[in-house]
Structure 1
């Protein structure tokens, strides 16, 4: 099948400020909440708004998960189940509808039960436990701790939560490149509403490419994996803290450290080790390892270059 990029579909010249996806198939790049967070810190006004919506949404999910009220429990589950796979960005593994509402119901229920019972939700630093100080407090933290939560699922969920921001970005791109708006389609989508703290159904117009609605995505919002990576957290924080714990000191102060190889051999389950160490250090040391990792990313993350994006899309 020939590659049909956005620029091909609408006869545009390069470069463009959005991901130049193949509009006819899936593109194995992923919307990432951490990339959005970093973009917002660097002044991207769309990203600032999107990041706030991601924080507000997941804060509401955790609030519902901690609540003893049946109505809150039902609402939290319902919110996750409505984050079914978006096809409009052409990002991720599948745009053929095979992971639609039934898949979202099943995965939403599994994710809800995992979040609701996850020990890291009940571990926080400081004298007052709240959502802001919890170890697992944002959508982008999920892959660090929970099995089968990967880049594709996080991308799908994040896209649904910031759908209206992407729609506004797309309309601004239509203003700059009018050919994108030559054909439009109207449909109803679940949109995050900050006032009600829930997803509400709204009718939106979107441009059409190859017969399907299209959302454009800023180039600095994507990555080829989750930016907050479970293996990186395991290597830099979880196993390093175990190494610190097992270090002994001779009478002359000389340190004897176990090797990282030995520690990894004795702690093979990456996400299980991440949970254990993150929880332990929050509970016993008043130290939030996840926040430290997040701050490291905020200081060092570099968006993909246009050349890197193009190579991934080929």
Structure 2
């Protein structure tokens, strides 16, 4: 395993002089604390055709997962079996080198139990439409696990993008290439399949998979805490609003509500999303519309300041 003795990025390692490359120029020796964000990818709409295929993979995977959840099976079969972190992307939170702790079978089972119990009603009424909805409600699916799942689901798109970059930038093959065999999601047949790819070779003999520029962030656009702040607390404020003896409309403060719900944000999000649905409100759709509007305004510079006024 390589240790971090220096900060070689891909362009340095492969001797690429033009730094305006179409991929994220990551550290070749170690994980970089950036994460693939499925909603960010959805908003980017490029590069094509890799973007089209990636979104198709995300959507067909969630469709298949939904069918499996609604069937009330005791386990997901092999659907969540392959969501472990692929080390070739150099993304994530490994402390030494880039072979971080994967989304293990235990984590996959915990996710499945949450989907088939806590989230069953949201699946049943069709509120959960995209993979990026899951971190809003499932404890344990944070930016790292979300990135792992996202990477595995559209790994084929990333591999195809990598091989396209190799054809455009010959230096990527200057240190040799290697064949890697991976289990990837096949959106046409809606199942996992084995594929082989020829990719750039790292100094330790492993392969490198490139990420299109602009597909990663330090934090997800959608998280449980962000959904709580922007939608759940706003809904509670409106539902608990009352007129006092002077006829003034009084609402509880978000600060007070946040203290009340901070220990169980995922459960609060589920409970009030269900309550809002009964009142013909779709908090999930409202949330993503708000995020998209703010992203349109600020683009990649969008930070954590997403709370509704």
TM-score by length of 1: 0.85
Distance in 2 separating the partners of 1:294 and 1:31: 17
Query: Do the aligned partners of 1:191 and 1:201 also contact (CA within 8 Å) in 2?
Result: yes
| 1:32 matched to 2:25 | no
Residue 14 of structure 1: how far off its partner (Å): 1.2
Q: Confirm whether residue 144 of structure 1 aligns to residue 154 of structure 2.
A: no
Alignment of 1:219 onto 2:213: yes
Distance 2:300 2:122 in 1: 34
Q: How many residues align?
A: 290
Greater relative contact order (Cα < 8 A, sep 6+) = 1
Offset at residue 61 of structure 1 (A): 0.9
Partner of residue 4, structure 1? 8
Partner residue of 1:169? 161
Quote the Cα distance in structure 2 between the aligned partners of 1:242 and 1:90: 41
**Mapped partners of 2:291, 2:172: distance in 1:** 34
Deviations 1:171-209 (A, max 9, x none): 221122111023211121011112321111122222112
Deviations 1:9-38 (A, max 9, x none): 111121222110001011000011011010
Q: Which runs of 5+ in 2 are unaligned?
A: 304-309
With 241-250 and 159-168 compared, the bigger mean Cα shift is at: 241-250
| Distance in 2 between residues matched to 1:303 and 1:108, nearest whole Å | 33
The worse-fitting range, judged by mean Cα deviation, of 142-151 and 25-34 is 142-151
Please state how far the C-alpha of 1:250 moved relative to its aligned partner. 5.1
- Alignment counterpart, residue 28 of structure 2, candidates 19, 23, 28: 23
Is the contact made by 2:232 and 2:268 (CA closer than 8 Å) also made in structure 1?
A: yes
CA distance in 1, matches of 2:92, 2:122: 32
Q: Quick check: 1:63 aligned with 2:55?
A: no
User: Larger % of helix: which?
Assistant: 1
TM-score (norm 2): 0.86
The aligned runs of 1:44-123 (5 Å cut-off) are: 45-68=49-72, 74=75, 76-94=76-94, 96-97=98-99, 99-100=101-102, 104-119=104-119, 121-123=120-122
Preserved CA contact (<8 Å) 1:26 1:92: yes
RMSD of aligned Cα (Å): 2.2
CA distance in 2, matches of 1:260, 1:299: 22
The answer for unaligned runs of 5 or more in structure 1 is 309-314
Counterpart of 1:311?
none
